[in-house]
Chains A and B, each alone.
Chain A
Amino acid sequence: MRPISLLFLTPLLATAAPVADFEAALAAAKSAQAPIAVFLHGSDWNPAGETMLKTWQDPRIADAAGPATPLVTIDRMENPDQAATEAAKRNAKCDPPVRSLPAVAFYDADGRLVSVRSGLPEIESSGGLPATLKGMRSLLAKRDELWKRATSEQGPKRAALLGAGLDLMNQGLGPKNLYQNVLNDMKQADPKDESGYIGKYTFSPWSLLDLVLEKVKAGDPAAAEAELDRWNRVTRLDKRQRQELHATRFALYQRWPQKKEMARKSLEDMRAVDPGSDLGKAAESYLKQLKD
């Protein structure tokens, strides 16, 4: 009986296909170990979404999403009828952090968010809807490959592979820390953080800034400096994080009369990391204003 039912299911799941709602998509994805692609629009108020919906409904979108990928369309209507209200309840578990519609979200087979693009400009800057989906699919495949390799590794190597998988998604630990278990796994594998990834995924510039303000207020700026130095030794911080660390150091030296002359150097370091980035430009702008 079992081989027959598998044979029967295989053709159905071989290509991406629309499913009724996110609940159905989760079940199908779990069964086929496939990702889920979600398109969010607003049929009664969002003209841009309706234009993109046509692309979404094109049979060729299945190729972009990948084989066996359930496709879910969520209509965030302003004036939903009874059917739409019922559908919204069945889609309640799909709540990606969307700042604008239309949006596309990609989930793994366990229903975890992998990537999201909010609004026309973001989707277009990713090359349009098909290219965005392809990119998300490819990202997930690479992540899963890294995490598969991690299962056969131990120690810092394992942590590094897990961290590299998080890097690909570029969303930290995800909304509501949904990838906290990955961080826990990294901590267990690499308690001394030789990979540097634990530091990367626990780094919080805002906590550091709070610490700086608190220590300065308590008359102990040196303690804050020591903590910043400790973070500076984390090798895996990305460019943005490194700039944030320099920004926090600037905040410290601005408030520390004995070391105020080092504030400028902090801005220069911040700029040097990535001069063309938002924070690089902010450092440049601040330097000019200090000069003025």
Chain B
Amino acid sequence: MSTKSLIRPFGLFVLACLVPVARAADDEGSLRAAAATPQGRMVLAAAELRRVAAPVIDELSASAEGKRFISELMASPGLLGDLMGSGPLPDDPGKMLRVLHDLWKQDRAGLTQAEDRGTAAAVALTFGQSKWPSDKAYSRYAWFRDSRRKGLLHPQFASLRPWEKRYVVSAGGNGSWNGEGGWDDASLEWLRDHVKLPAADYVGACWQAPYRLHNLLGDSIHGAMYYAPFGDMVHARRVRDVGGVCGSLSHYGANAARANGIPAITMGEPGHCAYAVRVKRGEWTPAYSLSWQRGLHTSLWGSTWTQLVLQEKALGDQEAHDRSTAHLWQARALASSQPELAETAYRLALEAQPIHQPAWREAVRFLRDVRKPSASAWTAIQSSALDALADFPEAAWDVVSDIQPAALALMPGADAEAFLLDFHRRIAPRDGPVMWNFSAALKAQADGLGSDVSKRLAFFEKVLAVQASSKSWFAPTIAWGQEAFGKDAANSPAFFAALARVFSSGAAGSNQDGLRAALRPAVLAAAANGNVEAFQALGKAGAVLRNSEALKTEPFPGDLLSSGGLLTVSSTSGWDHPENHWGVMEACGGGFHTERQVRPWAVVRLGKLGDLSGIVIHDPSGGHNATRQLPLKVSISEDGSSWQEVFRTDQHQNPWRIPLEGRATRVQFIRVERDDERSEFFHLNAIHAYGRRLQ
């Protein structure tokens, strides 16, 4: 039970010879040698396939034809490599093998050509999932094969590797097969022929279909009759012509890309369905996405955006990933018979590709269940995992969260806090690819310390001290602390005292001053980092500091779409109270105040994507102060980068009411700015957007 192999610094070892693991893997050298060459990896792949699908291999081998298939498969580095080297196998590997056998029977010649063989492997890996219908696999394969051969797909499809094609052939609904009349092959054909765009333009393809909660007959999208009367139409066409809400629109966009051979996925977000398109190798672009809280409907590694980015990087390095995967196969084969050697194989897998996150998780589970490391060994293992994955904090947390319960159970209480803080020290300087559920991690860590509030508060204070300099994690740390301690009357004094100590505020002991001191930098950090959730949590936390008198306003029709959004301003100043920024977008009103500057601005990211009926802007200033906002320019945008001016004035007014009916049909951002060359302050009390939600 040494566990030292997994924590040894990664190093290079000289390969002695190639020895298939199934027969003679009895030391680290032979493990390395077996995985070092493509030929050796094929031997390991065959062994792994037999390990996971032996009954089906035996069953197929019982017939002459099946035996020939198995024999050809095992002897074909191309086909076996495509199948076994394209990311994790589906949950039913035996079914995957049956699907491949069926494809082989029906198109043996096709499977000898690299492009079609890769498509076949991708189809087998997809339809090998227990929820996918194997009897539909051939038609899906043949459809992509024939579309490619006829030149009807985007040219990039021909160059996709099988793992990349898994994001194409899995077209359907919510990551699953969608039956006849849904996102089926007929819809794919229609989309292939009617929606041909440059890859990056599929990000906007969803808007070819109009957002409509009710169809023309008044039936709601949530009922059965929304599409039912239009049964004569191919589903894709009826979504375009009848309409839909986020789910239909996102599936239209994603499946349009896939139908043309471009990888895409749909994703669940809170109360919303979005999608993403792989616009080029290594670059996934979210589409119709309104939140970082994305649950991918199709993914090789897991359901988070971080995992999508990480697996793209890992599988993109084919040689490293192939070797890492081969060592994983060795480890699994040895796990029960030679656990010490299995541990070595896991270490080699991680050495071959340190960012292979699923390998980390598998290795940690193996260690926990079989090797049972000591507390100090767990500390070292966690340190190694953080070395490898700190650039992807969410992925690192997934591994650390597997380690933490086992480690804490063995650890003296005095060591626990330092063990938990190591995660924060490593990720503090890194932003990672996307925001993630950081507060859940903090909660899990605090829970690991037990129910003693003083211990939890002490931990919070130390985390805050570590993350105080972090662009990404500072604001969510405060937001979590406020939620966990600040709301509780019994704990809030200690919470504010902790904040005051961290911010070296002289206001310790006064709740409101402590809260202000904490909120101001946190609100600005949340805004700068685009973290809507933290901004909202902090904004609501600051409610006690605001004047409760509601702003008097005359709204435009529809919902207050700015509510729940995020305000970013071009600068702050001594007159600015960031705790009031939240109210700028809410009915209650708030305020911001920039520094003296040329062309100051404020950008509101709306709480809801919408079709605007109008914008109302409040500025109660009088006299000279009222001139600071003029000339006032207002622009709108869907993506925050491409702007359309909708209003300009040289006249002060309170409020400015800007009707926009029919002129701002898809808006997520509003920019309000002063458009001249003066270096002057800029301040407003409210930017309210009204209209119809599009999500």
Cβ of B216 and Cβ of A209 under 8 Å apart? Answer: yes
Between A and B, 23 residue pairs with Cβ closer than 8 Å are: A45-B155, A47-B155, A48-B152, A99-B195, A100-B196, A100-B197, A119-B195, A119-B196, A121-B193, A205-B216, A212-B218, A247-B216, A248-B218, A251-B217, A254-B218, A255-B218, A278-B233, A285-B228, A285-B232, A286-B217, A286-B229, A289-B228, A289-B229
- Shortest Cβ distance from B209 into chain A, in angstroms? 10
Q: Is the pair B232, A248 in contact by a Cβ cutoff of 8 Å?
A: no
When distances are taken between beta carbons in the complex, the residues of chain B under 8 Å from A19 are none
The answer on a CB contact under 8 Å between A119 and B194 is yes
Instruction: Out of B193, B218, B231, name the residue touching A251 (CB < 8 Å).
Output: B218
Other 8 A-B pairs with CB < 8 A, given A42-B198, A251-B217, A278-B233: A47-B155, A77-B198, A213-B218, A250-B217, A285-B228, A285-B231, A289-B225, A289-B229
Determine whether A283 belongs to the interface, using a CB cutoff of 8 Å to chain B: yes
Q: A128 vs B218: C-alpha distance in the bound complex, in angstroms? A: 38
A247 to B230, CA, bound (A): 13
On whether A278 and B197 interact (CB within 8 A), knowing A209-B218, A213-B214, A250-B217, the answer reads: no
List A254-292 residues whose CB lies under 8 Å from chain B. 254-255, 278-279, 281-283, 285-286, 289
Interface string of B161-200 (1 = CB under 8 A from A): 0000000000000000000000000000000011111111
**What is the CB-to-nearest-CB distance from A238 to chain B, in angstroms, rounded to a whole number?**
15
B residues in contact (CB < 8 Å) with A:
151-152, 154-156, 193-200, 208, 212, 214, 216-219, 225, 228-233, 241, 662
Question: Are A251 and B196 in touch, CB under 8 angstroms?
Answer: no
Question: If the complex has contacts A42-B198, A177-B662, are A209 and B232 also in contact, measured as CB distance less than 8 A?
Answer: no
- Complex contact B218–A206 (CB within 8 A): no
**Which 3 pairs show the lowest CB-CB distances between chains A and B?**
A251-B218, A282-B229, A247-B216
Residue tally, chain A, CB below 8 Å to B: 36
Per the bound structure, the CA–CA distance linking A45 and B159 in Å amounts to: 13
**Interchain CB contact (< 8 A) of A209 among B151, B194, B214:** B214
Is A232 among interface residues, defined by CB-CB distance under 8 A? no
On whether A45 and B199 interact (CB within 8 A), knowing A99-B208, A121-B194, A286-B217, the answer reads yes
Chain B nearest CB, measured from A75 CB (Å): 11
Residues of B within 8 A of A206 (CB): 212
Question: Contacts A213-B218, A247-B217 given: A45-B198 contact, CB under 8 Å?
Answer: yes
Within 8 A of B (CB), among A200-226: 205-206, 209, 212-213
Q: Using Cβ atoms and an 8 Å threshold, which residues of chain A touch B214?
A: 209, 213, 251
Nearest A residue to B692 by beta-carbon distance? A210
If A47-B155, A121-B193 touch, whether A78 touches B200 (CB-CB below 8 Å) is: yes
**How many Å lie between the Cα of A120 and that of B190 in the bound state?**
12
> When chains A and B are docked, how far (Å) is the Cα of A83 from the Cα of B558?
46
A248 touches B216 (CB 8 A): yes
Contact A278 B232 (CB under 8 A): yes
Set of chain A residues within 8 Å of B228, measured between Cβ atoms: 285-286, 289
Interface residues of A, Cβ cutoff 8 Å to B: 42, 45-48, 76-78, 99-101, 119-121, 177, 205-206, 209, 212-213, 244, 247-248, 250-252, 254-255, 278-279, 281-283, 285-286, 289
Residues of chain B within 8 A (CB-CB) of A278 are 230, 232-233, 241
Complex: A205 Cα to B242 Cα, angstroms: 13
Decide yes or no: A282 and B230 within 8 Å by CB, A119-B194, A121-B194 being known contacts.
yes
Q: How far does the alpha carbon of A278 sit from the alpha carbon of B225 in the complex, in Å?
A: 16
Task: Tell whether A47 pairs with B151 under 8 Å between CB atoms, given A76-B198, A101-B197, A213-B218.
Answer: yes
Shortest A266–chain B CB gap in Å is 9
Q: Which of A120, A177, A247 contacts B193 (CB 8 A)?
A: A120
Is B194 touching A99 in the complex (CB atoms < 8 A)? yes
Nearest B residue to A101 via CB reads B196
A-side contacts of B218, CB under 8 Å: 209, 212-213, 247-248, 250-252, 254-255
Residues of B within 8 A of A119 (CB): 193-196
Q: How far is B217's CA from A209's CA once the two chains are assembled, in angstroms?
A: 8
CA distance in complex: A148, B625 (Å): 55
Interfacial chain A residues near B197, Cβ < 8 Å = 100-101
Give CA–CA (A100, B195) in the complex, Å.
5
Contacts of B155 in A (CB 8 A): 45, 47
Nearest CB of chain B from residue A275's CB, rounded to whole Å? 12
A282 / chain B contacts, CB cutoff of 8 Å: 217, 229-230, 232
Q: Which residues of A contact B151 (CB under 8 A)?
A: 47-48
Report the separation of the CA atoms of residues A76 and B198 in the bound assembly, to the nearest whole angstrom: 7
In the assembled complex, the Cα of A254 lies from the Cα of B223 at a distance in Å of 14
Cα(A248)–Cα(B214), bound, Å: 11
A289 partner residues in chain B, CB cutoff 8 A: 225, 228-229
A28 to B225, CA, bound (A): 52
Contacts of B196 in A (CB 8 A): 46, 48, 100-101, 119-120
Chain A residue nearest to B231 in the complex (CB): A285
Q: How far is the CA of A89 from the CA of B196 in the complex (A)?
A: 22
